[in-house]
Structure 1
Amino acid sequence: MSQNAVVDGAANAVDTQKGDYPDFMLKEIHEQPRVLRETFAGRFDAESGRLKLDELPLSTDEIKAIERIYIIACGTSYHAGIVGKDMIEKSARIPVEVQIASEFSYRSPVFPPNTVAIAISQSGETGDTMDAIAIAKKAGTPVITITNVAGSSMTKESIATLQVLADQEVSIAATKSYTGQLAHLAMLSLYLGQERGMLSADEVADAMAELEQIPAQVESILSETSIASIEAAAAGCYKAHDVIFIGRGVGTATCLEAALKLKETSYVHGEGYAANEFRHGPIAMIDAEAATPVVAIAMESETRERMLTIMGEVKAYGANLVALATEGDARAAELADHVIYLPQIREMYLPFTAIVALQVFSRQIALLLGRDIDHPRGLVKAVVD
Structure 2
Amino acid sequence: MCGIVGFVGKKQASSILVEGLSKLEYRGYDSAGVAIIDNDHINVVKCKGRLKNLENKLSEHPLKGILGIGHTRWATHGKPSDLNAHPHNSQDGTISVVHNGIIENYVQLREWLTSKGYKFVSETDTEVIPQLIEYFYKGDIVEAVMRAISKIKGSYAVGVICSKEPGKLVAVRKDSPLIVGLGKDEYYIASDIPAVLNHTRDIYLLNDNEFVVITKDGVKLLSEDKKEIKKDVYHVTWSANAAEKGGFDHFMMKEIHEQPKAIKDTMTSRIMPGKPITLDDIKITKEQIKNIDKIYIVACGTAYHAGIVGKYVIEKLVRMPVEVDIASEFRYRNPIIDERTLMIIISQSGETADTLAALREAKAHGARVIAVTNVAGSTVSREADDVLYTWAGPEIAVASTKAYTTQLITMYMIALFFAQNRNTLSQEEIEAIKNDMLTLPEKAKQMLEQKEVLQKFASRIYMHKEMFFLGRGIDYAVAMEGSLKVKEVSYIHSEAYAGGELKHGTIALIEDGTVVIALATQTSLYQKMISNIREVTTRGARVLGFTVEGNIDMEKAVDSVLYVPKVNDILLPVLTVIPLQLLAYYIAVQKGCDVDKPRNLAKSVTVE
TM-score bracket for this pair, using the shorter chain length: over 0.9
Deviation at 1:342, TM superposition (A): 1.4
Q: Which amino acid aligns with 1:60?
A: K
Match of 2:593 among 367, 371, 381: 371
Alignment of 1:170-319 (within 5 A): 170-223=396-449, 226-288=450-512, 291-319=513-541
Are the aligned partners of 1:67 and 1:113 in contact in 2 as well (CA < 8 Å)?
no
> Which amino acid is 1:58 matched to?
I
Which string of whole-angstrom CA distances, capped at 9 and with x for unpartnered residues, describes residues 273-314 of structure 1? 1111122101111121xx010100012521001000111111
> What whole-Å deviation, never above 9, does each CA across 1:178-207 have from its counterpart, x for those lacking one?
001000111100110010011111111110
Instruction: Show the counterpart of 1:130.
Output: 356
Distance 1:44 1:378, change over 3 A: closer
Q: Cα RMSD between the aligned structures?
A: 1.4
The Cα shift of 1:115 comes to 0.5
Residue 83 of structure 2: aligned partner: none
Greater strand share, 1 or 2? Answer: 2
Structure 1 residue 112: Cα displacement: 4.0
Partners of 1:50 and 1:201 within 8 A in 2: no
8 Å contact from structure 1 (residues 296, 321) kept in 2:
yes
1:147 & 1:243 partners in 2: Cα distance? 31
Q: Structure 2: how far apart are the matches of 1:11 and 1:164? A: 15
Aligned to 2:46: none
Which one-letter code corresponds to 1:263 in the other structure?
A: K
**How far apart, in 2, do the equivalents of 1:178 and 1:342 lie?**
18
1:44/1:205 contact within 8 Å kept: no
Partner of 1:24: 251
Moved more, 299-308 or 357-366: 299-308
Structure 1 counterpart of 2:187? none
Quick one: higher RCO (CA 8 Å, sep 6+), 1 or 2? Answer: 1
Q: Is residue 2:569 matched to residue 1:343?
A: no
**What is the CA-CA distance between 1:327 and the residue it aligns to?**
2.1
Aligned residues of 1:11 and 1:165 also touching (Cα < 8 A): no
Deviations 1:97-152 (A, max 9, x none): 00100001211100144111011101100001111111101101111100111100
User: Which deviates further from its counterpart, 355-364 or 323-332?
Assistant: 323-332
Corresponding position: 1:87 with 2:309: no
Tell me, in whole angstroms, the C-alpha distance in 1 between the residues paired with 2:365 and 2:272: 36
Offset of residue 13 of structure 1? 2.7
Cα distance between partner residues in 2 of 1:11 and 1:308? 49
User: Shift of residue 340 of structure 1?
Assistant: 1.3
Q: Tell me, in whole angstroms, the C-alpha distance in 1 between the residues paired with 2:237 and 2:429.
A: 30
Quick one: distance in 2 between partners of 1:46 and 1:268?
44
Residues 378 and 320 of structure 1, relative CA distance in 2, 3 Å threshold: same
**Distance in 2 of aligned mates of 1:217 and 1:32:** 11
- Kindly state the Cα deviation for residue 11 of structure 1 after the two structures are TM-superposed: 6.3
Letter in 2 for 1:17: E
C-alpha distance in 1 between matches for 2:538 and 2:290: 50
Structure 1 residue ranges without an equivalent (≥5): 1-7
Say which of 364, 368, 372 aligns to 1:146.
372
Distance (Å, rounded) in 1 between the aligned partners of 2:485 and 2:380: 25
Give 1:350 deviation, angstroms: 1.2
Q: Which structure has the larger Rg over C-alpha atoms?
A: 2
Aligned 8 A contact 1:13 1:167 in 2:
no
Letter in 2 for 1:238: Y
The residue that corresponds to 1:118 in the other structure is 344
Residues in 2 aligned to 1:109 and 1:300: alpha-carbon distance in whole angstroms: 32
Shift of 1:79: 0.4
- Structure 1 distance, partners of 2:271, 2:591, is 45
State the shift of 1:45 in Å: 4.6
Identity of aligned residues (%): 39
Q: Which amino acid counterpart does residue 24 of structure 1 have in structure 2?
A: F
- Listed as ranges, the gaps of 5+ residues in structure 2 are 1-233
Query: How much has 1:328 moved relative to structure 2?
Result: 3.3
Task: Kindly provide the amino acid, as one letter, of the partner of residue 355 in structure 1.
Answer: V
Residue matched to 2:123: none
